[in-house]
Amino acid sequence: MADLQAALPREMYVDAGAFARERDAVLYGEWFCVGRVADLGLDQPSRIAVVDVVGESVLVTSDTGGALHAAYNVCRHRGSQLFTALPGAAPVCTAAGSLRCPYHSWTYALDGSLLRAPHADLAPDEMPDFRLSPVAVDTWAGFVFVHLGAPAGPLLEAMARPDRTLANYRMGELVTGLRFTYEVAANYKVLAENYNECYHCGPVHPELTRLVPAFGGGGADIDWDGGVPHREGAWTFTMSGTTERAPLPGLDAAERERHKGELVHPNLMLSASADHVAAFVLLPQAVDRTRVECVLLFHPSAVADPAFDPSDAGDLWDLVNKQDWAICQSVQRGMSSRSYTHGWFAPMEDDSADIRRWLLPRLDRLDDRGRDD
């Protein structure tokens, strides 16, 4: 066992109580990605997006000046939702000049401040006390993040590594050219751990390992920072390994022919190819269910081309994704067995162990706060 490390215990993947604790301490206590700015309609002023954050409904707005705000979808009067939203619902995006509660017509500005409270006789100096309960919001590279707790640091601190390793891809300038939505019967951590290792690539992804032979060797000795080379004659993630689309502007010589990837805990996975970036937003629905929003991002000039056809990339990604989700669901079923206590990480899976090193200290801090109370 000297070269094997114990993985997280069974209950952290299958127990609803453990999931609730993790949700409160970590998913609500960290910067959480909810999608692309443009895809949520927030690249225009006077817009609102209603998003679900592990069961909490959050309003993200762009005011008349285009600045973003976020608040809980809860009227301060009697608790009605301002916009009807069921737990786990897909985002709702619409134009809005203000936010009016359908119950008693309390009305809020797009920054969450209270504008009108009919018949409540509130004095002007009392109005600020009844603004919507705020949620921290910020953007990075065209993605929207919210934080349902008190942020320990700015978003840019959490994104320091991908901000460095993926800077040349200029993701903030890219646009969505293709979208996939998947419902996966597995804990979100199973998906994140699977993404962060290639020990499984040989058995699970034969097409992918033919494109990237280094993936077939178990993922050992791969230079993830420098990028992973394709087979001879291939340079991007498509069915053929090539495409008619030009490489993204600004890439260095290695990035024009290699593949890069980053996992940003808790719920954003990024896979960067020379002509596009695949982004995966993991949206936990329950201890054993995760919705995955996968978008393929391309340069605006490529998408504007009348001949634009992303299917060469989309067909490969959809194939690889479905292979991943099938094996992740098998893992979830196996973890649910009474015979399972915890798994093991082999040496080449060390990056997968990051979820332990990232997650457990955050849960420990919750325990410490409880003891202090």
Q: Given the structure tokens 């800077």, which residue do they identify?
A: 167
Q: CA-CA distance, 69 to 78, in Å (whole number)?
A: 22
At 103-152, the pLDDT tens digits run 999 999 999 999 999 999 899 999 999 999 999 999 999 999 999 998 88
Q: Is the peptide bond before 118 cis (omega within 30 degrees of 0)?
A: no
At 57-113, the pLDDT tens digits run 999 999 999 999 999 999 999 999 999 998 888 899 999 999 999 999 999 999 999
Closest CA to 242 of 250, 252, 253, 233: 233
- The count of other CB atoms within 10 Å of the CB of residue 348 is 17
Burial class (CB in 10 A: 0-12, 13-18, 19+), 232: exposed
Tell me the sheet residues that pair with 291.
183, 283
- Interior CA angle at 13 toward 140 and 316, to 5°? 55
In the chain the domains, ranked by start, together with CATH numbers, are 32-150 (2.102.10.10), 159-363 (3.90.380.10)
For 89-119, letters b (16+ CB in 10 Å) and e give eebbbeebeebbbeeeebbbbbbbebeebee
What's the pLDDT score for residue 371?
Answer: 44
At 16-69, the pLDDT tens digits run 999 999 999 999 999 999 999 999 999 999 999 999 999 999 999 999 999 999
Residue type, 298: F
What's the pLDDT score for residue 222?
Answer: 78
Is 0.75 surpassed by the pTM of this model?
yes
369 has pLDDT over 70: no
Mean pLDDT of the chain: 94
Q: Given the structure tokens 């976020």, which residue do they identify?
A: 70
Tell me the sheet residues that pair with 176.
297
Confidence of residue 372 (pLDDT cuts 50, 70, 90): very low
**Region 1-30: what's the mean pLDDT?**
93
What's the pLDDT score for residue 3?
Answer: 82
Closest CA to 26 of 251, 235, 188, 262: 188
Q: CA-CA distance, 294 to 286, in Å (whole number)?
A: 19
- C-alpha neighbours within 13 Å on the C-beta side of residue 195: 28
Of 256 and 352, more confident: 256
271 has pLDDT over 80: yes
